[in-house]
């Protein structure tokens, strides 16, 4: 009896699973908008039922909707709404900014309304035109269905110059760290309209980590209501230029934030937001003072300190869980001036003793002014006397984003003595001085 000819469908399940993870952009760690592997997967699922059953979840691991009309977004929604196991398979969604598309049929409209009713999401207005609002609503429902979604990428096709990467991302990552290819270090800035972000913030109730480019078009008040973000642990603005009002509003709605990052800096061709001051930024961070563990904040050299008065923030001791602090000299100078006003003394060693909570383990200071040298000696002494019991490392270096620090010769002159004092205190200090004076 002749055996049936060998075919792909006869391969052991382990081999087919391996093939699935090899072709799947998500499993192979390729960008989600790389759709070639997915097309191959999709073709394989049409060969036979066995291949379909094994490989179809891989097809749904990542969904890409870039530069296409809205109907495919609807087809995807219908597929995952009808097959909850496929909705569970979705880990990555990449979508581009809305484009005008064809009209929906009445059938589409009725189904969509049913979904909205089931999920108790607000109805779009009757007779909606094809507009951004409707498209965002579909996206909102998709995000709702995909309970295991790890990453939502907004891809903006944004042509600045031909030699720059035209793809920019805003990623909303749930289970993993931010995973977007960023414009960081390329000198390219990306933007996202707040209207595009808003539905996602509203829908992603389990969002843990949020990394954003510059958000434009946020107008506080005006009926804008941010959701309370109970799951958000990580908020990363990278080297962007968010409006202070947007940062304040987001922080006011975070109840569990552990990690905040912002390298505020003036971008090429961009006016600095005149509302920013260093002390206002620290004051906004007080919203998360009970939960924040890692704070990275770098203010550009032209950021004003802020209005100094008796009530303004002058130490970080209120941040009761703070373990890691990475700030630049500009931030510490603003705090020290405020502290001088509030305490009535300009003694930098006293400032150091009252700057941080006892939970601190790592301190990084970028581009510090030489006036902070006495404060550093004071840190070492305080550690010996038991005030900062958990402090283990101190790093003094040039900012990773600005690279403009020209340290005064005082730093090189005090290097040996600082290292000695910190060694006595059981703390590793690294003084990475660029252009160190001989």
Q: Which residues bind Zn ion (CB under 5 A)?
A: 24, 26-27, 61
Residue 174 or 265 having the CB closest to Zn ion:
174
CA 192, CA 154: separation in Å to the nearest integer? 8
Residue 148 or 230 having the CB closest to Zn ion:
148
Exposed (0-12), middle (13-18) or buried (19+): which is 188, by Cβ within 10 Å?
Answer: middle
Residue 62 or 248 having the CB closest to Zn ion:
62
Place of tokens 């060998």: 6
Distance of closest approach, residue 57 Cβ to Zn ion, in angstroms: 8
Specify whether the CB–CB gap between 122 and 132 falls below 8 A. Answer: no
Residues 6+ apart with CB under 8 A from 165: 181, 183, 186, 188
- Tokens of residue 401, six digits: 């984003």
Specify whether the CB–CB gap between 309 and 283 falls below 8 A. Answer: no
Distance of closest approach, residue 26 Cβ to Zn ion, in angstroms: 4
Residues 6+ apart with CB under 8 A from 209: 173, 174, 176, 177, 178, 232, 233, 234, 235, 236
CA 259, CA 240: separation in Å to the nearest integer? 16
CA 426, CA 408: separation in Å to the nearest integer? 27
Residue 27 or 116 having the CB closest to Zn ion:
27
Distance of closest approach, residue 24 Cβ to Zn ion, in angstroms: 3
Place of tokens 């490989």: 55
Residue 27 or 412 having the CB closest to Zn ion:
27
Buried b (16+ CB within 10 A) or exposed e, 153-162: bbbbebeeee
Distance of closest approach, residue 62 Cβ to Zn ion, in angstroms: 7
Distance of closest approach, residue 20 Cβ to Zn ion, in angstroms: 7
Distance of closest approach, residue 27 Cβ to Zn ion, in angstroms: 3
Residue 26 or 265 having the CB closest to Zn ion:
26
Specify whether the CB–CB gap between 201 and 177 falls below 8 A. Answer: no
Distance of closest approach, residue 39 Cβ to Zn ion, in angstroms: 14
Distance of closest approach, residue 176 Cβ to Zn ion, in angstroms: 13
CA 211, CA 308: separation in Å to the nearest integer? 31
Residue 28 or 301 having the CB closest to Zn ion:
28
Residue 24 or 152 having the CB closest to Zn ion:
24
Hey, is 272 helix, strand or coil?
Answer: coil
């Amino acid at each position: 009896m002749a055996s049936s000819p060998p075919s792909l469908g006869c391969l052991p399940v382990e081999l087919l699973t391996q093939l699935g993870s090899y072709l799947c952009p998500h499993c192979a760690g390729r960008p989600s908008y790389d759709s070639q592997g997915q097309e191959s997967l999709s073709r394989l699922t049409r060969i036979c039922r066995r291949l379909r059953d094994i490989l179809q979840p891989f097809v749904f691991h990542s969904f890409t909707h870039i530069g296409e009309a809205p109907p495919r977004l609807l087809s995807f929604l219908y597929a995952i709404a009808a097959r909850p196991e496929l909705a569970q398979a979705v880990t990555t969604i990449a979508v581009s900014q809305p484009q005008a598309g064809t009209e929906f049929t009445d059938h589409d409209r009725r189904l969509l309304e049913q979904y909205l009713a089931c999920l108790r999401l607000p109805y779009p207005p009757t007779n909606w035109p094809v507009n951004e609002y409707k498209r965002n609503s579909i996206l909102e429902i998709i995000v709702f269905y995909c309970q295991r979604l790890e990453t939502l990428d907004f891809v903006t096709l944004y042509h600045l110059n031909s030699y720059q990467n035209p793809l920019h991302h805003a990623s909303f990552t749930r289970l993993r760290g931010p995973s977007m290819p960023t414009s960081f270090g390329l000198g390219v800035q990306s933007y996202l309209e707040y209207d595009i972000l808003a539905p996602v913030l509203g829908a992603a109730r389990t969002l843990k980590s949020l990394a954003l480019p510059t958000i434009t078009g946020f107008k506080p008040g005006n009926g804008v209501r941010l959701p309370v973000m109970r799951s958000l642990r990580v908020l990363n603005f990278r080297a962007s230029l968010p409006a202070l009002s947007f940062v304040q509003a987001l922080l006011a709605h975070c109840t569990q934030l552990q990690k905040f990052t912002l390298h505020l800096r003036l971008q090429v061709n961009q006016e600095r937001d005149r509302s920013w001051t260093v002390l206002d930024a620290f004051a906004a961070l007080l919203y998360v003072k009970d939960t924040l563990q890692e704070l990275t904040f770098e203010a550009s050299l032209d950021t004003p300190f802020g209005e100094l008065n008796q009530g303004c923030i002058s130490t970080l001791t209120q941040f009761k869980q703070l373990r890691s602090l990475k700030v630049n000299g500009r931030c510490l100078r603003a705090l020290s001036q405020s502290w001088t006003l509030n305490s009535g003394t300009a003694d930098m060693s006293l400032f150091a003793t009252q700057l941080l909570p006892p939970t601190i383990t790592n301190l990084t200071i970028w581009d510090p002014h030489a006036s902070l040298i006495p404060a550093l000696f004071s840190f070492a002494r305080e550690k010996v006397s038991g005030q900062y019991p958990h402090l283990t490392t101190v790093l003094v270096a040039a900012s990773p984003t600005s690279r403009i620090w020209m340290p005064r010769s005082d730093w090189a002159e005090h290097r040996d003595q600082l290292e000695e004092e910190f060694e006595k205190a059981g703390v590793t200090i690294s003084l990475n001085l660029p252009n160190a004076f001989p």
